[in-house]
C-alpha cells in the first residue's frame, strides 16, 4: 500500500509518500519560521494562509520526487488534530478532497500518534510494549504503548509543555524565534555549576510535569544576574539541564512503574543532544533500550503521518466525506489497530 501523508497542524507544511514495501519514497517539508520570526511566535491566521499556498505545490513535488501519479496512490492520510484549528482545516480539506477526487480512501491521523510511531520509520524498530516520551512545543506526555492505538497516558504537563518552556525562556533571554534550538546551542557554552534551578514535581510521587515554575525561576535569575554573554550562556545551561533532568527522572519512574525496559522518545524536543545523552545513560544503567527518529522526523513532517495513516488504512479505517478537525484530541481516545 502506498499512502500520501499531509501534515499542517502548526507552522510546517509536511508532505510525504510512504510505501509499505519501499519505505519513504518522497519527503517534502516547508517551514514557516521566517514568516513568524518578526512576531516572536506562531501567528495562527498567517500559518493557515501559508499552508493554503504551499500544500498543493508540495504534493505535486512529492509525486514528482517519488515518480508517482495519483493513480499510484492507494490512500490519503492527513493530520486532523490536535493543533491550530485553521491550519488543521487546510490539510484536512485538501486531503479529504483529493481522496474524493481520486476515488481513494482517506484517514484522519492524530498528530501525536504520528510522532509516537516516527521511530518505526528507522531500521531499528522498537517492539511493543514500550514507554513513550512525547515531548514537543505543544505536548509533554508519558505513554504506555501496548500496540497501535493501545495507549495509556501515564503523565502529562499540567501547564507549559517542555518545548514551550524552552521557547518562552529563550524569548526572556532575548533570543530570536524559534528560541528552543537557539537556547540549546547557547547552553553548550555555559558553565555547568554556576546556577541551579528546580526540577519541578520530582520531589513528589507521580508522572505529571510542570515547567511554568522553572520558567519563572529562570526569569528571576535573568533579572537579578544581568545579561552579559557568559551569564546568558550559564543560565541557558542551567535551564536546559533542569528540563533534561526532570524528563529523565520521570522516564525512569515510568519504566519502573510499568516494568518495561524500552523507551521511545519523539517530538521536536527529542532532537535535543543533551536529552539524548542523558536518556542513553539512563537506559544503559537500566539495561534497556532507547529509540528515536532521525532529526528530520523529530519535528512535524508528512512521513510520520503517512506511516501512521497506512497502519489505520490497512486495518480498514476510513474517514467519511465530511471534513473534521479536532484542535484538542486526547491520545487515549484512539481506537486500537488489531
180 is in an annotated binding site: yes
Q: Is 136 annotated as a binding residue?
A: yes
Task: Name 110's bridge partners.
Answer: 81
Question: Is 137 within any annotated ligand binding site?
Answer: yes
Query: Is 300 one of the annotated binding-site residues?
Result: yes
- Return the axis-axis angle of helices 273-285 and 229-258, rounded to nearest 10°: 40
295 is in an annotated binding site: no
Sign of CA dihedral 45, 47, 48, 53: positive
Q: Hey, CA dihedral for 260, 262, 263, 266, is it positive or negative?
A: negative
Measured CA to CA in angstroms, residue 301 lies from 12, 18, 66, 120 at distances of 7, 12, 16, 14
Residue 20 annotated as lining a ligand binding site: no
Q: Are 126 and 120 in contact (CB under 8 A)?
A: yes
Does the annotation flag 11 for ligand binding?
A: no
How distant is the alpha carbon of residue 262 from its chain centre?
Answer: 19
Q: How far apart are alpha carbons 301 and 119 in whole angstroms?
A: 13
Q: At what angle do helices 229-258 and 162-172 cross, to 10 degrees?
A: 170
Question: 25: which DSSP letter?
Answer: E
Question: How many whole angstroms separate alpha carbon 131 and alpha carbon 255?
Answer: 7
228 is annotated as contributing to ligand binding: no
| Cell output for 71 | 493513480
Cα–Cα distance, 315 to 86 (Å, whole number): 29
User: CA of 316: how far to CAs of 112, 123, 213, 279, 336, in Å?
Assistant: 21, 26, 45, 37, 12
- Ligand-binding annotation for 48, yes or no, is no
Does 139 carry a binding-site annotation?
no
Q: Is 334 annotated as contributing to ligand binding? A: no
Is 285 strand, coil or helix? helix
Output the CA–CA distances (angstroms, integers) from residue 132 to 8, 119, 170, 192, 283, in the order listed: 23, 11, 26, 28, 13
Annotated binding residues for substrate, as ranges? 134-138, 167, 180, 272
Annotated binding residues, as ranges? 111, 115, 134-138, 167, 180, 272, 300
Annotated binding residues for Fe cation, as ranges? 111, 115, 300
Amino acid at each position: 500500500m502506498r499512502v500520501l501523508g499531509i501534515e499542517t497542524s502548526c507552522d510546517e507544511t509536511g508532505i510525504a509518500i510512504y510505501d509499505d514495501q519501499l519505505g519513504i519514497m518522497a519527503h517534502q517539508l516547508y517551514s514557516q519560521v521566517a514568516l513568524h520570526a518578526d512576531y516572536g511566535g506562531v501567528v495562527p491566521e498567517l500559518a493557515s494562509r501559508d499552508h493554503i499556498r504551499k500544500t498543493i505545490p508540495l504534493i505535486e513535488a512529492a509525486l514528482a520526487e517519488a515518480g508517482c501519479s495519483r493513480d499510484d496512490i492507494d490512500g490519503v492520510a492527513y493530520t486532523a488534530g490536535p493543533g491550530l484549528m485553521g491550519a488543521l482545516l487546510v490539510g484536512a480539506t485538501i486531503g479529504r478532497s483529493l481522496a474524493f477526487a481520486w476515488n481513494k480512501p482517506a484517514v484522519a491521523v492524530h498528530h501525536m500518534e504520528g510522532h509516537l510511531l516516527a521511530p518505526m520509520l528507522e531500521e531499528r524498530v522498537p517492539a511493543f510494549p514500550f514507554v513513550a516520551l512525547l515531548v514537543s512545543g505543544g505536548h509533554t506526555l508519558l505513554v504506555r504503548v501496548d500496540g497501535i492505538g493501545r495507549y495509556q497516558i501515564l503523565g502529562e504537563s499540567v501547564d507549559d509543555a517542555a518545548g514551550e518552556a524552552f521557547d518562552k525562556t529563550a524569548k526572556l533571554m532575548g533570543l530570536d524565534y524559534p528560541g528552543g534550538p537557539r537556547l540549546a546551542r547557547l547552553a553548550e557554552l555555559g558553565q555547568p555549576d554556576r546556577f541551579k534551578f528546580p526540577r519541578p514535581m520530582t520531589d513528589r510521587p507521580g508522572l505529571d510535569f510542570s515547567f511554568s515554575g522553572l520558567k519563572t525561576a529562570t526569569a528571576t535569575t535573568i533579572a537579578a544576574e544581568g545579561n552579559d554573554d557568559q551569564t546568558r550562556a550559564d543560565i541557558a545551561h542551567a535551564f536546559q539541564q533542569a528540563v533534561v533532568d526532570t524528563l529523565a527522572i520521570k522516564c525512569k519512574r515510568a519504566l519502573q512503574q510499568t516494568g518495561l525496559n524500552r523507551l521511545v522518545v519523539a517530538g521536536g524536543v527529542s532532537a535535543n543532544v543533551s536529552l539524548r545523552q542523558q536518556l542513553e545513560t539512563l537506559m544503559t544503567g537500566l539495561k534497556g533500550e532507547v529509540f528515536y527518529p532521525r532529526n528530520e522526523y523529530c519535528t512535524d513532517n508528512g512521513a510520520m503521518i503517512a506511516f501512521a495513516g497506512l497502519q489505520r488504512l490497512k486495518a480498514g479505517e476510513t474517514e467519511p466525506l465530511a471534513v473534521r478537525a479536532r484542535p484538542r484530541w486526547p491520545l487515549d481516545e484512539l481506537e486500537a489497530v488489531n
